[in-house]
Amino acid sequence: ETGVTQTPRHLVMGMTNKKSLKCEQHLGHNAMYWYKQSAKKPLELMFVYSLEERVENNSVPSRFSPECPNSSHLFLHLHTLQPEDSALYLCASSQDWPGVNTEAFFGQGTRLTVV
């Protein structure tokens, strides 16, 4: 398997649930990202991991908790979410961070609905 793979593709969860999103990359990249995509809004960078260390956290609420156990895997743990957190969550990877010309490769995303 190649590229960036995200599971699950769709997730519906209640506001009191705890769930996790998973991302896996088989590209040998050193950097991985979580983005939030909401309709008609720019992509929002949530977290960046470089060599398994968190290097960016863009004022994301603590109900989102990332984890990067190794350079190939990235998780986003979710708990007590709000309906406004419903969105498409995209994982991406790139060769390095930061980089002058580092192409980001994206997964297909997890469509999250909070009810």
Question: What residues line the site for other proteins (CB under 8 A)?
Answer: 4, 6, 40-43, 45, 56, 90, 92, 97-109
Which residue's CB is nearer to other proteins, number 66 or number 107? 107
CA-based nearest residue to 49, from 15, 96, 11: 96
Least distance (Å) from other proteins to the CB of residue 83? 21
Q: How many CB atoms lie within 10 A of CB 80?
A: 14
Which residue's CB is nearer to other proteins, number 13 or number 104? 104
Least distance (Å) from other proteins to the CB of residue 15? 26
- Measured CA to CA, the distance from residue 77 to residue 100 in angstroms comes to 30
